[in-house]
Structure 1
Amino acid sequence: MTKKNYTLKEIAQLAEVSRGTVDRVLHKRGRVSEEAQKRVEKILKEIDYKPNLFAKSLKTHKNYTICALIPEDSEGEYWQQCAKGVQKAEEELRQFGISISYVRYVSTLKEFKTKLTEAIEQIPDAFLIVPIFHEPLKDLYRKAEDLKKPIALINSEVESLEPVTFLGQAYKKSGKIAAQLMGYLTPPQQDKQLLVMHLGIKSGHASHLTEKEDGFRSYFAAHHPYVTIKTISSTSIEDFVDTDFDLSHIAGIYVTTSKIHQLEGILKKHPHIQAIGYDLTAKNTTCLKNGTVKMLLNQNPELQGHQGITSLSELLLYSKSIPKRNLLRVDIVVAENLDEFS
């Protein structure tokens, strides 16, 4: 249920005081009697009023709905964190008429197509989309654009789509950073072998992962061309284990997804392997603390979700211009600085 967007006049009527008194209480300026102060504060608590800086620029009380098309929580903790960011933004913005319509999906082509169609049929005021499956759904993306509603993409981009903003990382740069760190961690022998793993990919779409790999490879090609790099794409760790891949000569593993914790057992059996992965999920940080994983690169999915909704809201509420590409920084997290990110 959408929370009522209370005006100062309505709050004043509920508290049986003047509009000016409410304004002075909210902004802590001017003199207010103790009794009036208590009445206003009581009403603010009852209606769960949360002040927000948006109010300073707000020029309309129109209500807006943003459709958030994001993966189900069952798809992993990364997407749980993304949803948490969306929900946090909704709580902050609902008093200004912003509500979120959630359309959640699991990573199959059939499911995503169905849910994208459902989102379009809602005809919301804006879309926040985590896109998977690009090529097969060009016509659907075009249909969404035909609605002339602002679209924000997070996590990965779609070539055929021109959103008002994209929030994510510069993935090739991220791969280069991972490569440089791997170079520090692994010995500089001439026959060094490294492994790039796209782990936990169910959709078949991994353009942003390919960018990470390209960045990783380009760094070594430029600085350490003698290094051999192999790539494995695996839906699950069980599929990888079934291949009987020889890890005895692998010096380091770079996992391009948030699933590096699935390698914990393997890394404990092969302590010589240096491992770098992504994201501060609970299982990943446990591996970081116990030393099986040496470094994590934080993509901050919660911030992506929160900032995606916030940016669209700024656009809807008062036509504020937002950056076409909002690239978030790449945080390098080790056991020693992990507490700074909690």
Structure 2
Amino acid sequence: MGKIKVTINSIAKACGVSRGTVDRVLNNRGRVSSETEEKVRKMAAELGYKPNSLGKALASRKKHYIIGVILCSEGNEFYNDMIRGIEQAEQDNTDYGINVLFRTMKGYDVDHQLRLMNELEGRINCLLITAINHHKIAQKINSLTESGIGVLTLNTDIENSKRVCHIGANVIESGRIACGLLGLLMRGKAQVAIATNSLKLLEHHQRIEGFLQAKEDKYPGFHIVEIFEAEDDDMIAYMRTKKLLAQKPGVDAFYIGGAALGICRAIEEAGCSDKITIISCDTNPT
């Protein structure tokens, strides 16, 4: 496990003083009693506090540094922890002039995402985005980049763009591992249904790509019965799974990349819980 980041807030809590007092001590500004200063510096050393050099540089700027965030997160609990992390990071760095402008959307409508990007343009210094894998979005990213706004893709990447970098997991490898686990559980033979949230996201394409690569390499006894989209909606997932099980009763394995609750509910109601092996990815509260 990685080390917990030590912040001015955590030092303040440990010392029982205000955040402003810790800031004055560590940045040598303002008047603080020698006793309090000694207490704060000792606690900072014990906790292993390291000053944020980037933050100090940003703090010296006259204007705020605004980070835009666009997430396809509405109705998808997967993003809850991510949003909390971004909000916490903003809070930790408020003194350095860093602020976040959030925009969220439900589903994967290209024109909607373009409108959000246009809305933030001119108001932000950089953009974090769960980008829909579409040439219009790539073109907009390229336009923002050329205007001096750095764009980073978050959780899912996009093809043919000038984005600075991608922040996310190796989803092709995730798909390969999922296929390997299912291969062990099913002893190399299965009638497999694959459910993903939306093929408009490169992440979901790549996850399935990894699964199919491993199937071709090691598990020729796997037969892919159907690949369907759940669209980040448990009811849609439920209805499509129910229909699939009625039409293709031989399905004995599922690889789930989204809306797992709706899929599992349909499997349970069909009386197939003990007949179908499920491999899923991501952790959701449900």
Deviation of residue 267 (structure 1)? 2.6
Correspondence 1:140-219 to 2 at 5 A: 140-189=140-189, 192-198=190-196, 200-201=197-198, 205-219=200-214
Correspondence for 1:26: 40
Structure-2 change in CA distance of 1:143 and 1:22 (3 Å): farther
Check the 8 A contact 1:152/1:164 in 2, yes or no: yes
- Alignment identity in percent? 15
Check the 8 A contact 1:8/1:22 in 2, yes or no: no
Q: Residue by residue, what CA displacement relative to the aligned partner does 1:290-328 show, whole Å, maximum 9, x if unpaired? A: xxxxxxxxxxxxxxxxxxxxxxxxxxxxxxxxxxxxxxx
Correspondence for 2:32: 17
| 2:100 paired with 1:97 | no
Residues 168-177 or 86-95, more deviating: 86-95
Deviation of residue 252 (structure 1)? 1.0
Deviation of residue 219 (structure 1)? 1.1
Correspondence for 1:273: 276
How far apart, in 1, do the equivalents of 2:65 and 2:38 lie? 28
How far apart, in 1, do the equivalents of 2:51 and 2:160 lie? 33
Q: Which structure would you say has the larger RCO, counting Cα contacts within 8 Å and 6 or more residues apart?
A: 1
Letter in structure 2 aligned against 1:226: G
How far apart, in 1, do the equivalents of 2:50 and 2:70 lie? 27
Alignment coverage as a number of residue pairs: 247
How far apart, in 1, do the equivalents of 2:136 and 2:178 lie? 31
How far apart, in 2, do the equivalents of 1:182 and 1:53 lie? 44
- Give unpaired runs (5+ residues) of structure 2: 1-18
How far apart, in 1, do the equivalents of 2:29 and 2:141 lie? 46
- Give unpaired runs (5+ residues) of structure 1: 30-50, 284-342
Correspondence for 2:221: 226
Structure-2 change in CA distance of 1:69 and 1:173 (3 Å): same
Deviation of residue 278 (structure 1)? 1.8
Structure-2 change in CA distance of 1:206 and 1:126 (3 Å): closer
How far apart, in 2, do the equivalents of 1:276 and 1:188 lie? 14
Letter in structure 2 aligned against 1:218: Q
Check the 8 A contact 1:11/1:22 in 2, yes or no: no
Check the 8 A contact 2:58/2:65 in 1, yes or no: no
Deviation of residue 159 (structure 1)? 1.8
Correspondence 1:29-48 to 2 at 5 A: none
Deviation of residue 78 (structure 1)? 0.9
Correspondence for 2:137: 137
How far apart, in 2, do the equivalents of 1:251 and 1:218 lie? 20
Correspondence 1:182-331 to 2 at 5 A: 182-189=182-189, 192-198=190-196, 200-201=197-198, 205-234=200-229, 235=231, 236-237=236-237, 238-242=239-243, 245-257=246-258, 259-268=259-268, 269-270=271-272, 271-283=274-286
How far apart, in 2, do the equivalents of 1:174 and 1:183 lie? 14
Check the 8 A contact 1:260/1:278 in 2, yes or no: no
How far apart, in 2, do the equivalents of 1:11 and 1:233 lie? 59
Check the 8 A contact 1:52/1:92 in 2, yes or no: no
Letter in structure 1 aligned against 2:38: R
Deviation of residue 79 (structure 1)? 2.0
Q: Residue by residue, what CA displacement relative to the aligned partner does 1:218-249 show, whole Å, maximum 9, x if unpaired? A: 21211121321133223422244345654432
How far apart, in 2, do the equivalents of 1:52 and 1:87 lie? 21
Q: Classify the secondary structure of the residue corresponding to 1:90.
A: helix
Check the 8 A contact 1:106/1:112 in 2, yes or no: no
Correspondence for 1:109: 110
Check the 8 A contact 2:241/2:263 in 1, yes or no: no
| Aligned match for 2:50, one of 53, 61, 65 | 53
How far apart, in 1, do the equivalents of 2:243 and 2:223 lie? 23
How far apart, in 2, do the equivalents of 1:207 and 1:231 lie? 19
Deviation of residue 130 (structure 1)? 1.3
What is the root-mean-square deviation of aligned Cα atoms in Å?
A: 2.8
Structure-2 change in CA distance of 1:95 and 1:22 (3 Å): farther
Check the 8 A contact 2:141/2:162 in 1, yes or no: no
Correspondence for 1:318: none
How far apart, in 2, do the equivalents of 1:60 and 1:82 lie? 24
